[in-house]
Structure 1
Amino acid sequence: MTALIAATLALSASCGFAQGSDKPLRLVLPVGAGSGVDTIMRAATPSLTKALGGQAVVIENLPGAGGITGTSVVVRATPDGQTLGVVSNNHVVNPSVFKKMPFDAINDITPISVVGETPFVLVVNPKVPAKNAKELQALLKAKPDGYNYASSGNGTIIHLAGAMFMDAAGVDVRHIPYKGVGPMVADIIGGQVEMGVVALPAVQGQLKSGQLRAIGVMGSSRVPSLPDLPTIAEQGFPTVDVGGWFAVVGPAKMPPAEVKRLHAAIVAAFNTPETKEAMAKQENIIKPMTPEASAQYFKSEQERYAKLVKKANIVAD
């Protein structure tokens, strides 16, 4: 009997079966419940539990300070793979917009995987007489003081995405920061502000109803639900390329074997039919990166946004 048990365990190990832990995996989200990243991870959690051999996954929302509050908990955790976090663009933007940071955005984490991104679109109030990016550029150049662009807050990725287009278009348009995406979208619809960049899932209904008009996709490729909407880059602004990416990270100095195990589980979880269907409905583009590629991506993104923050003179509140 002992030999049989030993043989079974050896077979399981050789086949790469995940061994479930009695202790739940703590997954810290530095965003509020119902936000994009929260919706994504809750959809993927059942598949992630299976990929981890039955280990429970407990999501903990700790929003605040542009993601710094929740991520601070992750970087201080024991690097044993039992506490992970999910961060987005703001993680690498924050060092450029905040005067002081409680941790190093690059050296105090272990990247597990940049999982994918949510497309951003540039939208305008329908009364704005521009149907594409070139027409909008001409309009803004003709009346630079006549229009405003909104964001979800100073120094957010939504702010930087808007600044990226304005920089590429060579225009200087007044920025109006809001406290969140909801109020921002409401005021674009109401005409208090004329335009802004927003995650596509947040405005699908308003685009279909005609309350908002999409000028273009901010990323490098078109989206399936709007096949006739070109990217901003296609419309003559090749430097515009930004989307709302999200990544799973852990504390610094995690054991390589643990990083490999968790990366494999994340890839498997996002590759199940159930999760794929949920991601397609949410318009998310899933392309998991390796831990090594993710680490390089974090560095390059931090450098890219630092240049934009400096050029646009962006400072967080």
Structure 2
Amino acid sequence: MNEFFQTRRQLLAGFGAAALALPFGVRAQGDRPITLILPVSVGSGVDTITRSASEALSHALGQTVVVDNRPGAGGIIGTSAIVKAEPNGSTIGMVSNNHVVYPSVYKSVPFDPIADITPISVVGSTPFMLVANPNTIKARNIPELVSALKADPDKYTYASSGNGTILHLAVEMFVHQAGASARHIPYRGVAPMMTDLIGGQVDFGVLSLPSVKKQVESGALRALGACGAKRMESLPDLPTLAEQGVGGYECDGWFAAVGPAGLSDKDVQRFHQALEKAFNDPAVRVSMKAQGNNIVNMPPKETAAYFRSEMAKYAAVVKAAGLQPV
């Protein structure tokens, strides 16, 4: 995508805009900005979450935080930029489930998701929901969607933010467990995926609540089911997929802060404490609740263990679904 890389002029403009958006006191406390790399497109769930807390994080660190979106290749482009950064405390990233899915869905990944990063914190989790274009999918719930997919297996398509991403696996888990089928259309990020879902070029997909809530409320997309183990607080009338007959189905997203390998313990603790302070900011807490996110602020050592357990979990999911690495 053209948005993969910023020109020098765009990057300098980003620094200037971020600095102007913050009080002078914040700029004066730090001698350099912090680059926060997101391996996702603008408008995705992790992007929405991060931008909601970026100003509070700047205040907590005493340094300007510049959000740098680098989507593409299911997140590999942005994550590669994180792992290649100097471990000097000036660059961190916010990753999602995709980070631990890579080894199971790609034959070759240009980094080790465990060895090449420094875990800082699993900051929180975000709910997923299965949504459909109301003009191309007449189903109003999951049993009706399953019936439509089984009746005409070659007719319907589903979108994802890229091959092997968690949004791809979330639908694969659904169709596999429902005994149905649909054709996968991968996109290069959530933004183009959403555009084609709303336009009817593709029929359904799984998206995070923060990224799709407005489209569901406006009627541009129809929510058919919550993907988590329990219903979403902000949409209590939307049953889970498990409640609607897809037994045992459960898939939520999480987002975690990481740095490049070799980041000092001092910097790890500094970032962890700043993230905890930022996400406990009253305004940020209101925003996170409105988006339906759950904030946990997991400590660094627990985050490292969680990454390893999640990697094993998704390896089993990929195997069960019969997906072949690409």
* Structure 1 and Structure 2 fold alike (TM over 0.5): yes
Task: Give the partner amino acid of 1:44.
Answer: A
Query: In the alignment, does 2:102 pair up with 1:94?
Result: yes
In structure 2, the residue matched to 1:147 is 156
In structure 1, the residue matched to 2:268 is 259
What per-residue deviation string (whole Å, max 9, x for no partner) do you get for residues 106-133 of structure 1? 1111111111233211122335353332
Query: In the alignment, does 2:319 pair up with 1:294?
Result: no
- Out of 76, 101, 105, the position equivalent to 1:68 is 76
Q: Matched residues in 1 for 2:86 and 2:191: separation?
A: 36
Task: Give the partner amino acid of 2:171.
Answer: G
Instruction: Report matched runs for 1:152-301 at 5 Å.
Output: 152-301=161-310
Secondary structure of residue in 1 paired with 2:131: strand
Q: Matched residues in 1 for 2:192 and 2:268: separation?
A: 39
Task: Give the partner amino acid of 2:72.
Answer: G
Q: CA deviation at 1:247?
A: 0.8
Q: In terms of Rg, which structure is larger?
A: 1
Q: CA deviation at 1:158?
A: 1.4
Query: In the alignment, does 2:85 pair up with 1:77?
Result: yes
Query: In the alignment, does 2:67 pair up with 1:59?
Result: yes
Task: Give the partner amino acid of 2:67.
Answer: I
What per-residue deviation string (whole Å, max 9, x for no partner) do you get for residues 248-279 of structure 1? 00122333343223212111110011211222
In structure 2, the residue matched to 1:49 is 58
Give the conservation status (yes or no) of the 8 Å contact 2:82–2:260.
yes
In structure 1, the residue matched to 2:14 is none
Provide structure 2 residue ranges, at least 5 long, that are not aligned to the other structure.
Answer: 1-28
Q: CA deviation at 1:177?
A: 2.5
Give the conservation status (yes or no) of the 8 Å contact 1:154–1:314.
no
What per-residue deviation string (whole Å, max 9, x for no partner) do you get for residues 206-239 of structure 1? 3234343211111223223211112213333343
Secondary structure of residue in 2 paired with 1:149: strand
Task: Give the partner amino acid of 2:174.
Answer: F
Rate the CA distance shift 1:142–1:35 in 2: closer, same or farther, 3 A.
Answer: closer
Q: CA deviation at 1:288?
A: 1.9
Q: Matched residues in 2 for 1:59 and 1:102: separation?
A: 23
Report percent identity of matched pairs: 56
Rate the CA distance shift 1:190–1:27 in 2: closer, same or farther, 3 A.
Answer: closer
In structure 2, the residue matched to 1:112 is 120
Secondary structure of residue in 2 paired with 1:113: strand
Q: CA deviation at 1:293?
A: 2.1
Q: Matched residues in 2 for 1:50 and 1:240: separation?
A: 40
Task: Give the partner amino acid of 1:168.
Answer: Q
Query: In the alignment, does 2:36 pair up with 1:27?
Result: yes
Rate the CA distance shift 1:42–1:174 in 2: closer, same or farther, 3 A.
Answer: closer
Rate the CA distance shift 1:240–1:29 in 2: closer, same or farther, 3 A.
Answer: same
Equivalenced residues, count = 296
In structure 2, the residue matched to 1:6 is none
Task: Give the partner amino acid of 2:236.
Answer: P
Q: Matched residues in 1 for 2:211 and 2:164: separation?
A: 20
What per-residue deviation string (whole Å, max 9, x for no partner) do you get for residues 185-224 of structure 1? 4444454443211222333333234343211111223223
Give the conservation status (yes or no) of the 8 Å contact 1:30–1:61.
yes
Provide structure 1 residue ranges, at least 5 long, that are not aligned to the other structure.
Answer: 1-19
Q: Matched residues in 2 for 1:174 and 1:66: separation?
A: 18
Rate the CA distance shift 1:290–1:174 in 2: closer, same or farther, 3 A.
Answer: same
What per-residue deviation string (whole Å, max 9, x for no partner) do you get for residues 150-187 of structure 1? 22332222111110111221223222333443444444
Task: Give the alignment's Cα RMSD to 1 decimal.
Answer: 2.5
TM-score, structure 2 normalization: 0.80
Q: Matched residues in 2 for 1:208 and 1:199: separation?
A: 14
Rate the CA distance shift 1:90–1:139 in 2: closer, same or farther, 3 A.
Answer: same
Q: Matched residues in 2 for 1:45 and 1:92: separation?
A: 24
| 4+ residue runs over 6 A deviation | none
In structure 1, the residue matched to 2:140 is 131
Task: Give the partner amino acid of 1:312.
Answer: G
Rate the CA distance shift 1:92–1:81 in 2: closer, same or farther, 3 A.
Answer: same
